[in-house]
Amino acid sequence: MEINKNIYENTEVIKDYRSDSDSEDLYVVMKGALETQRTRNKKTSETNSPRSRCYRLTAVCLCLLCVLLLTVIIVLWVKLQTTYNSLTAERDQLKRKADVCCHESKEEASRQGWRYFNSSMYYVFTGRKNWNESRQDCRERGADLVIINSREEQEFLSQHLGSSQAWIGLTDTDSEGVWKWVDGTALTTGYWSSGEPNSLVGDEDCVVYDFGPNTTWNWADYPCTRNFIWICEKTFFC
């Protein structure tokens, strides 16, 4: 019925042509109209086919999936940003508390007579003990016999911390002539007095710091059983 209707409509169009059109022209016009109608019907059929509907449904699903994924990403980003801000605030708060605690610890140590230099604090104890006893005393105080790592530290001790010979944390007890600090590291730079070390009276396996006029070259080896004052060192990492 639809085709007949279209033919009728096309026939009406044909009537508008001039009355002198021959039959061949009429045939061409009617053939073109029919082809046009068939093309329209074909497109309509393809548009309404199951495959076309499936494609449209797939496209809609993909769009919805993209929207869903974008929503999830935004929600996760907001949560992560909130968590990051919270952790940053907690970190800053803990750092402030640690700084306050460290400052208070330094002040307390200073009141007790400890002197601060770089990241360490030092104390010269004026009682007299042998090397092992001196080290034990330092360790009971949360420290150890001093380890001297630089010329600046060496001169700081001379300028601020004493006026006599004092034990430091250097010994060759384990192997003669192989000097090591109390933390097990090997001696790399020594500040020995002229002629030292010399083992002058036999086994001189421990080292004293001589607070004399020479603020740099003033170490000497002594028997570990001799009694001297001693220098303790403890490290602050804040």
Flag the least confident range among 37-41, 138-142, 176-180: 37-41
* pLDDT band per the 50, 70, 90 thresholds, residue 10: very low
Percent above pLDDT 70 for the chain: 78
Query: Residue 49, CB half-sphere, CA atoms under 13 Å: how many?
Result: 10
Over 90: is that where the pLDDT of 40 sits?
A: no
pLDDT of residue 33: 58
Q: What is the pLDDT of residue 162?
A: 72
Q: How confident is the model at residue 48 (pLDDT cuts 50, 70, 90)?
A: low
Rounded Cα–Cα distance for residues 118 and 236 (Å): 9
The mean pLDDT value for 107-135 works out to: 91
Q: Is the pLDDT of residue 163 over 80?
A: no
In this prediction, residues 134-146 reach a mean pLDDT of: 96
Q: Are 103 and 210 in contact (CB under 8 A)?
A: no
CA distance 70 to 126: 73
Residue pLDDT, tens place only, 70-117 = 999 999 999 999 999 999 998 988 888 877 887 787 788 888 889 999
Residue 95's pLDDT is 85
Whether residue 6 has pLDDT greater than 60: no
Residue 17 pLDDT: 44
What three-state secondary structure class fits 173?
coil
**What structural domains and CATH numbers belong to the chain?**
2-47 (no CATH), 115-235 (3.10.100.10)
d(CA 238, CA 13): 98
Q: Which residues contact 179 (CB under 8 A, 6 or more apart)?
A: 170, 171, 172, 186, 187, 190, 197, 207
pLDDT of residue 1: 47
Asked if the model's pLDDT at residue 151 lies above 80, the reply is: yes
> Distance between CA 136 and CA 230 in Å, rounded?
11
pLDDT computed for residue 28 by the predictor: 57
Strands (E), 130-218: 144-145, 165-171, 180-181, 206-210
d(CA 234, CA 82): 40
Q: What is the C-alpha separation between 62 and 153, in angstroms, rounded?
A: 70
Cα–Cα nearest to 229, from 137, 114, 121, 117:
137
